[in-house]
Amino acid sequence: MPTFTAFIKSLFIIAIIGLIGGGLFIYSGLYPMGADVPHNKLSYWMLETLRERSIARAASTTQVPDDLNTSDRLLSGGADYNDMCAGCHLEPEVKENDFTIGLYPSPPNLTAAPQDHGHSSGSDEHGKDAEIQRQFWIIKHGIKASGMPAWGPTHSDERIWNMVSFLQRLPSLTKEQYQILTARGQDDQ
């Protein structure tokens, strides 16, 4: 009958072996890092859970402005979205491009409704707020090792909220509406 001390010792040895084994695996270079080879299911689940839990916690204290749905915000945010985001997150009637095919993880198609690209936080008021907070946080801070840059260092919070405002309406825009809202035009200078 093993004693409690022996049990703890065994756990300790297993942990040490695990750490050494993990270290050897990392240094072996055997894990495929190419973006054209998907993660295995365990790695994917771990990374996605880590990302989503981290963002949800960090974004939860973000104060959402009351005047998010205004025409001025749509015009400012639309032009910025077209210049900085559409290359990866697409525009109406465009289903994919070289970036969405080549990047891993593939950037979400933001012209689709959140539930269609797996980033819905629920349809009630609380879920909607969580989704808005999440979008603001991601635009401002970016996501490590995903290709998503942090726009916070170079863009004001107000400008980022304008982009969030545009994102709320983007899934319902037609190609023609998108073109009008996002075109900067020479007169806008």
Write out the residues near other proteins by the rule CB under 8 A: 69-75, 78-80, 83, 154-155, 169, 172-173, 176-177, 179-181, 183-189
Give min distance, CB of 107 to other proteins, in A.
Answer: 20
β-sheet bridge partners, residue 143: 148
Closer to other proteins by CB, 106 or 177: give it.
177
Tell me how far apart the alpha carbons of residues 91 and 99 are, in angstroms, rounded to a whole number. Answer: 13
Give min distance, CB of 83 to other proteins, in A.
Answer: 5
Closer to other proteins by CB, 52 or 83: give it.
83
Radius of gyration of the chain (CA): 22
Tell me how far apart the alpha carbons of residues 11 and 6 are, in angstroms, rounded to a whole number. Answer: 9
β-sheet bridge partners, residue 148: 143
DSSP states along 23-72: HHHHHHT-S---TTSPPPHHHHHHHHHHHHHHHHHHHTTPPPPTT-S-HH
Give min distance, CB of 182 to other proteins, in A.
Answer: 8
Tell me how far apart the alpha carbons of residues 60 and 38 are, in angstroms, rounded to a whole number. Answer: 30
Give min distance, CB of 80 to other proteins, in A.
Answer: 7
